[in-house]
Amino acid sequence: MSDLKQHIASAFDRDLEGIQAQILKMGGLVEAAIHDAAKSLETRDEELAEQVRSGDKAIDVLEEMLNDEAARVIALRAPTAGDLRVVLSVMRMSANLERIGDLAKNMAKRTSVLAQLQPIGSSTSALRRMARDVEHMLKDALDAYIKRDEALARDVIDRDSDVDQMYNTLFREFLTFMLEDPRNITSCMHLHFIAKNIERMGDHVTSIAEQVVFLTSGALPVEDRVKGDRTSSDPKLSTDFELE
């Protein structure tokens, strides 16, 4: 290889390393956002919730930087085959991470509202357990990306059904609480929206894991993933629930 070709190849490798380092940094911020949003809800810590809300800006900035850098790499380096898959997977993963960050921020927005209302059973503890499962899924999806571990990525995809089942259980519990006492309706509606946001986080983590499969095999998983969320067919329950 000539010196020029070697220099170009080396610069390209540095570009790929750079954008992959940034996606992992972004992933770390999103993991922390999930953890802190769920903790602030359970402990009614409005200060921690505000940190989650303000911290979302850093996640948004990273997504924009990653997209710009990935577009630059494609334009200047014209990557092919495996290298192109790396760049495309980073772009798709960053979009999913940004959305998870938005959902964590939306969780945190409801903490200040729920802090003024009566607790509903052990619901906040259950929501924190559900969020912890999603957080662990995200950690494993990012580990699978680092290690190019297709088996681990597929395991993450399979675990999304557990999150769906947790959501279905909570949804039924919230309905029961509302039917038993109309005074629970406001709290349960907010708690349901949070549960739905966490369930959607699981969907986005699953999409990240699918990108790892794409990266390692060259194709997205072909089998249909069965969704365990039985409420998503109801248009009244399948919209984005976000507070201003």
Could you write out the DSSP letters of every residue in 44-97? T-HHHHHHHHHHHHHHHHHHHHHHHHHHHHHHHH---HHHHHHHHHHHHHHHHH
pLDDT over 50 at 25, yes or no: yes
Burial 220-242 (b: 16+ CB within 10 A, else e): ebeeeeeebbebbeeeeeeeebe
pLDDT digits (tens, 9 = 90+) for 138-189: 999 999 999 999 999 999 999 999 999 999 999 999 999 999 999 999 999 9
Q: CA end-to-end span of the chain, whole Å?
A: 57
What's the whole-number mean pLDDT along residues 77-99? 87
Q: For residue 15, what pLDDT band results from cuts at 50, 70 and 90?
A: confident
Q: Which amino acid is at 115?
A: A
In this predicted structure, what is the pLDDT of residue 9?
54
- Looking at 78-184, list the stretches that DSSP marks H as alpha helix, in order from N- to C-terminal side: 81-114, 123-147, 150-180
Percent of the chain at pLDDT > 70 equals 86
pLDDT tens-digit profile of 202-244? 999 999 999 999 998 877 887 655 556 655 544 444 444 455 4
To the question of pTM greater than 0.75 for the whole model, the response is yes
Residue 152 or 12, more confident? 152
Buried (b) or exposed (e) across 126-148, using 16+ Cβ within 10 A?
bbbebbebbbebbbbbbbbbeee
The rounded mean pLDDT for the chain is 88
Residue from 205, 211, 98, 202 nearest 145 by CA: 211
